[in-house]
């Protein structure tokens, strides 16, 4: 059984990890897109 505070802490940790991954993949996507435009002319 999880206490509500422990559950909230886990949820908060997952949300931070998810948003961090989302920002990282977004930045990487923008860099790849920009490189593709630069290479493709």
Please state the domain count of the chain.
1
pLDDT, average across residues 2-6: 75
Q: First CA to last CA across the chain, in angstroms?
A: 58
DSSP state of 25: H
Q: Does pLDDT of 2 surpass 80?
A: no
Tell me, what's the pLDDT at 27? Answer: 92
User: Mapping DSSP to helix (H, G, I), strand (E, B) and coil, where does residue 41 land?
Assistant: coil
Tell me, what's the pLDDT at 28? Answer: 92
Query: How distant is the alpha carbon of residue 37 from its chain centre?
Result: 24
Domain with 30 in it: 1-41
Nearest-angstrom CA–CA distance, 33 and 39: 10
pLDDT tens digits, one per residue of 5-38: 877 778 888 888 888 998 999 999 889 899 888 8
Which residue's structure tokens are 């002319």? Answer: 41
Nearest-angstrom CA–CA distance, 14 and 28: 21
């Amino acid at each position: 059984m999880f206490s509500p505070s422990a559950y909230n802490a886990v949820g908060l940790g997952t949300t931070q990890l998810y948003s961090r991954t989302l920002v990282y993949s977004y930045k990487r996507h923008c860099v790849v897109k920009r490189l593709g435009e630069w290479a493709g002319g």
